[in-house]
Structure 1
Amino acid sequence: MKRTLISLSLFALAAQASAVTTINYWDLLGGGDGERMQQLVDGFNKSQSDVKVQRTTLAWGVPYYTKLRTSAAVGQGPDLAILHLSRLSGWAEAKIVRPISTAELGSVGLSSKNFFPKLWDAASYKGQNYALPLDTHALVLYYNKDLLKKAGLLGADGAMKPLGSMAEFNAALNAVKTKTGALGVSFENGPNSYMPWRIWLALLAQQGGSIIKDNALTYGPLGASTLNTMTDWVKNGLATKNVDYPTSVAQFVNGKAAFMLNGVWEVPTLVDGRKSGKIGFDYGVMPMPKLYANQSTWADSHSFIIPNNVGKAASPEKINAALKFVAYAQKNALVWAGGGMIPANQGVTNSAAFKALKPNADFSATTAQNVTFDPLGWYSGAAGPLEAASAKYFPAAINGQLPVDKALGSFETEAKKLFNAAPKP
């Protein structure tokens, strides 16, 4: 009798173990982002016993995307992965990612209404949804209130005086230089840096310009005038040339620059530095100001996708299990917001808990409504060939190594080669 009971117990345990669905999940999230994602994975795994997420983190950028693409092509990709939305059009066209149906979303309590409209649009391709955005990480403006006060740029209420045009922004940079001796603005502009592309794209979009349409360059004279605006910041001593990323952050954190153009991911640096006493000045973070006709800003988004593993179609059970984790991450996106990211889920961003999160709540809603992504195309997106081409020539123009027209000419030559190599729809 005891032997029978033991056998039945072992059988029950085996059945229970076999009922657990394991989801292999890949991402490219390191540092603080990686730690917060691990919190979400661990929290989900502890919250229930039906699904177990096994996380693998690969090197950011080209190594990650190459591995993900080639693995899916031979049926060895993960069940779930992170993709920058800026890459989605090319990946959806090449059928590397699998569409996610309305019914599948509904089975875990999600729908298009959960997400900011611009993000949902960016997650769709030719009328089908292919990705579930987790966040918006956008270009914002950081400012040093102490330096601005000395420069006469704070109002009586202690708030920064409005910046309503590029002329006003440039005047503010000059006031800082003249009255405090500090740099007007800090931004990464060293060799092979992506930040010039992001700023250029944002300022172009604010002027109603576009970069590419139907595999043709469309920015025209605006492209040159916008890049000239950025080169003038360095030429006029309002910013430092040949600045790598760590130095650009250090210039602001150490009180050497009144403004910093950077992504929301640097919010934890400021929050932690202020708490620890390493940052001795009062600061603020605001949406990219409306310097031209609108308030557009460059942005990208970490999103969840289901890879289309060739010859190994995902079962309904696997898809549902993967989406259960996605739904958990959406519901608990306040954890993710701790890294400065703006949750893509409107319910979280509109919650009282998020509105109490400072400085995130000061820039999030406006920023999420005004995002502009990289142009569509297989060559586009985070660490993609088009951004890599810009990183060769835009910093060289900003640092006075190439005239703006020659820098844009070289960029255009490489871009047109990419267009000719693009796969036909």
Structure 2
Amino acid sequence: MEAVAGRTGLDEVPGFTKECSDGTTDPARRAPARPPHPAARRRRRARSPRPRELREPRRRERRDPAQVLAPALRRRRPHHGRPRRPRQRGQPHVRRHPDRAHLGSAVLHEARHGLGGGRAPDLAIIHAARLPGYAPGGLLDPWDLDLLAEFGVRREDFGDRVWESGTFDGDVYSIALDSHPFILFYNTDHAAAAGLMEGDRMRQPTSPDDFLDMVTAMKEASGGSGLSYGYVNDGAQMWRLWYTLYLQQGGVMELPIGGEARIDDEPAVEAFRFIQQLVDPSRGVPNADIQTALAEFISGDSGMLLSGVWELPSLQAAGLPIDAMPIPNLYGTPAAYADSHAFVLPHQNDVDEDARREVYRFVAEILKDSFDWAGAGHVPAYLPVTEDPAYADLLPQANYAAVAEIINYDPPAWFTGSGSDFQSLFAENLQPVLLAGADPQAGIDRFRAALDELLGKPNPV
């Protein structure tokens, strides 16, 4: 404390007395009655810099790249003195000044301020399920489909569900780059030992009970868990599986603004009853988070893993004998949860038509070159890529690409979508059902009441 005080100018304050280690004060060390001239103080500071622990941080806090799918909508300017990023291969006419922001309410706040100050960028990327929160407030401009067609991208180049995710009030506000569904990974060695393989792929279960039997067989073959599923403190993971099983039973969820939420009780409760059996200790770890589930599967101590396609690179890097498939249709209605990374045009009051035309060119070229993006596990939205014969050799991606035909996005509302508080609200009310065996119906009732409260509030943008 004494050393810090001496270097921060406290001994120059009139009447200041330093305290010695024994608790007494030393009159000989009392500060002078009059402070030095301000210029002298500035010179002294220049010679004796402030200690590191008291300095203001000079660099902006780094943001988590894993949560980055919607940039702060503000104009990018090149940073002087820093090396420029190389231009995108194949687009010599494009210079990028990328920025990133967290998902959720923070990006909405930054977006409003960026647009209000006339600093909107030429292009941004969001999760498609967040579109109902952006489009109504005038934050985005609709896409000109005729101009997009000039660069070889048309409506028929996309699946119905992917394309519809980008529409609002009859206009197209987002163009999907991909879909990233929630799927089932499995260890082919364990599946073979459990007698579950048919040819080079695992067989499809015929019912919920049949799938539970498959998980039990995988547990015996792996010597660890039959299935790994991380959900603790992760509303997104809980929601993705529950919503898939809910929709497979024909469940409908509607969120009319100003009205009351519709959740069908019977399929809602049944989906939780089934997940409770999946996480029973007789089949796997009952209270795992996503990192625990990944570590267990990567180590070979589990037969199956429920998670998103974005985990594929990590699983492949571990050298596992893995394959993947859509979540099995256990209740009769093909359905899977997914979201999409999608290109949007931030609203600009004064559009530079030449720059906007280059944006269309850039997006078209990215879509046509999205085969490489499939390497990250994502399913390219541009059908000419997935229908190319070369895609059939991309494994295991080709084995679950058809899931794009049955994907379902979050029910549309201004507060839903990836990274939203909606998924956190789901976990807040329903995690005890899986962790402690709480009554699913009571949790659904609480969740419905919380949604009704949100539905009574206006869209903040």
1:288 to 287, 308, 327: 327
Distance 1:129 1:340 in 2: 26
8 Å contact from structure 1 (residues 62, 383) kept in 2 = no
Matches within 5 A, 1:176-195: 176-178=218-220, 180-195=222-237
Distance 2:237 2:171 in 1: 31
Structure 2 counterpart of 1:231? 276
Amino acid at match of 2:65: G
Distance 1:333 1:106 in 2: 18
Deviation at 1:32, TM superposition (A): 12
Structure 2 counterpart of 1:243? 288
Deviation at 1:60, TM superposition (A): 4.6
8 Å contact from structure 1 (residues 212, 218) kept in 2 = yes
8 Å contact from structure 2 (residues 126, 342) kept in 1 = yes
Amino acid at match of 1:409: D
Distance 2:255 2:85 in 1: 43
Structure 2 counterpart of 1:23? none
Structure 2 counterpart of 1:173? 215
The structure with the greater share of residues assigned to helix is: 1
Structure 2 counterpart of 1:100? 143
Deviation at 1:361, TM superposition (A): 0.8
Matches within 5 A, 1:249-264: 249-264=294-309
Structure 2 counterpart of 1:14? none
Distance 1:103 1:158 in 2: 44
2:65 to 5, 22, 30: 30
Of 226-235 and 261-270, deviating more is: 226-235
Deviation at 1:360, TM superposition (A): 0.7
Structure 2 counterpart of 1:305? 344
Q: How has the CA–CA distance of structure 1 residues 288 and 334 changed in structure 2, closer, same or farther, with 3 Å as cutoff?
A: same
Distance 1:91 1:32 in 2: 18
Distance 2:398 2:248 in 1: 23
Structure 2 counterpart of 1:139? 182
Of 102-111 and 333-342, deviating more is: 102-111
Percent of counterpart pairs with the same letter?
A: 26
Deviation at 1:288, TM superposition (A): 1.6
1:360 to 386, 397, 408: 397
Amino acid at match of 1:247: T
Q: How has the CA–CA distance of structure 1 residues 172 and 138 changed in structure 2, closer, same or farther, with 3 Å as cutoff?
A: same
Distance 2:453 2:390 in 1: 48
Structure 1 counterpart of 2:31? none
Amino acid at match of 2:134: W
State TM-score, norm by structure 1: 0.83
Distance 2:248 2:160 in 1: 19
Structure 1 counterpart of 2:423? 387
8 Å contact from structure 2 (residues 220, 226) kept in 1 = no
Of 243-252 and 44-53, deviating more is: 44-53
Deviations 1:216-250 (A, max 9, x none): 22322211111121122223532323322211111
State TM-score, norm by structure 2: 0.77
Q: How has the CA–CA distance of structure 1 residues 296 and 335 changed in structure 2, closer, same or farther, with 3 Å as cutoff?
A: same
* 1:58 corresponds to 2:101: yes
Structure 1 counterpart of 2:413? 377
1:412 to 433, 445, 448: 448
Structure 2 counterpart of 1:6? none
Structure 1 counterpart of 2:247? 205
Distance 2:254 2:201 in 1: 38
Task: Output the aligned Cα RMSD.
Answer: 2.5
Q: How many residues align?
A: 382
Q: Tell me, what secondary structure is at the counterpart of 2:305?
A: strand
Deviation at 1:389, TM superposition (A): 0.5
Q: Tell me, what secondary structure is at the counterpart of 1:421?
A: coil
Structure 2 counterpart of 1:117? 160
Q: How has the CA–CA distance of structure 1 residues 32 and 338 changed in structure 2, closer, same or farther, with 3 Å as cutoff?
A: farther
Q: How has the CA–CA distance of structure 1 residues 49 and 234 changed in structure 2, closer, same or farther, with 3 Å as cutoff?
A: closer
8 Å contact from structure 2 (residues 379, 404) kept in 1 = yes
Q: How has the CA–CA distance of structure 1 residues 69 and 32 changed in structure 2, closer, same or farther, with 3 Å as cutoff?
A: closer
Deviation at 1:29, TM superposition (A): 8.6
Deviation at 1:195, TM superposition (A): 0.6
Deviation at 1:132, TM superposition (A): 0.6
Distance 1:398 1:374 in 2: 21
Distance 2:86 2:152 in 1: 19
Structure 1 residue ranges without an equivalent (≥5): 1-27, 35-40
Amino acid at match of 1:419: L
Q: How has the CA–CA distance of structure 1 residues 422 and 220 changed in structure 2, closer, same or farther, with 3 Å as cutoff?
A: farther
Amino acid at match of 2:341: H
8 Å contact from structure 1 (residues 44, 325) kept in 2 = no
8 Å contact from structure 2 (residues 177, 367) kept in 1 = yes
Structure 2 counterpart of 1:318? 355
Amino acid at match of 1:52: R
Structure 2 counterpart of 1:86? 129
Q: Tell me, what secondary structure is at the counterpart of 2:186?
A: strand
Largest Rg, 1 or 2: 2
Q: How has the CA–CA distance of structure 1 residues 111 and 333 changed in structure 2, closer, same or farther, with 3 Å as cutoff?
A: same
Deviations 1:56-99 (A, max 9, x none): 23335544444234422432232111011111122112221111
Structure 1 counterpart of 2:7? none
Structure 1 counterpart of 2:371? 334
Distance 2:420 2:67 in 1: 23
Q: Tell me, what secondary structure is at the counterpart of 1:83?
A: strand
Q: Tell me, what secondary structure is at the counterpart of 1:306?
A: strand
Deviation at 1:105, TM superposition (A): 1.3
Q: How has the CA–CA distance of structure 1 residues 420 and 273 changed in structure 2, closer, same or farther, with 3 Å as cutoff?
A: same
Q: Tell me, what secondary structure is at the counterpart of 1:51?
A: coil
Distance 1:283 1:314 in 2: 49
